[in-house]
Copies of this chain bind each other. A is one copy, B any other.
């Protein structure tokens, strides 16, 4: 509750309670935390497992889960009663302002795409994630919705990412870069080189600063606030970063366990390392973000606890309140980057796991 004289209208978030490794009750616990901050939650899941709804949470009994379905796109199409599809439909119908659906990224993107639909002038939705760079998170997109992209898709991803960075992450004029194999504008695949030229030649837009290409080493060095790439490279990239981070931390833990001296050192460092781990905890960001649709979507990882779910709902709420979708639209319009005419290929189903 703010101290201003006019209370803002509460934001309503549709949440799929299925898909969490810890079960629907854990999602309900996260929803309860979010409701405590004033967000309204429509919770779709098995009512029998969700317990009594706290104030601000409305439970809609939707016991059917497709979180573990092998073909998420087909499952979304074939299972209108699935909790995730019902949640997406609630957003499409205007009963909720944003979607939170964890566990299966593929199902979340498909359910959102088919029901919430693409925003006007947007070719394709993209999946974005905050790379937990200590001190200043970097937003990377696409991390898996589009294995193959055209230059105009990459250009739009730049604006989608910038609007989210400003609205939700509070970066006033994000530096936006293309991920490439060299800093020079000529480096990269032909599509990437074309996107670089388009972004450089585009109408000047005050909402972001295009800083050209960045290489892998630049991502964690904070050279850009938003890093744009295709969904194949982005997916490989975030998983590599996760793997290296885990491996290095694991190797250091091993060092701290191999000798009395090491154990003593590890004990002394433990509080500081705990802060470091907390700083790069993926639950902080609430998960991946579906950008480019008529409403925001947030996809918590299946292993998230109630904390990650509460954060996901908070991110969705902030995105609605900060009008990320409208910002994106305005930015694309100002930059002349809106899709001109619908084409068959743009209706393709995203290729996500």
Contacts and interface: CB of A to CB of B under 8 A. Distances in A.
Contact of A265 (B240, B265, B351): B265
Interface residues of A, number: 60
Interface in A256-284: 256, 258-259, 261-262, 264-269, 271-273, 275-276
A36 interface: no
A241 interface: yes
A134 to B, nearest CB: 5
A308 B252 CA distance: 25
A338 to B, nearest CB: 27
B236 A180 contact: yes
Contact of A276 (B133, B220, B251): B251
A191 to B, nearest CB: 10
Interface in A231-246: 231-233, 235-246
Given A248-B249, A255-B275, 7 more contacts: A133-B247, A182-B353, A189-B232, A217-B240, A262-B268, A262-B272, A264-B265
20 contacts: A144-B181, A148-B189, A180-B232, A180-B236, A187-B353, A215-B235, A216-B241, A217-B239, A217-B240, A218-B243, A221-B247, A233-B236, A240-B241, A248-B249, A252-B276, A255-B276, A256-B272, A259-B272, A261-B271, A265-B265
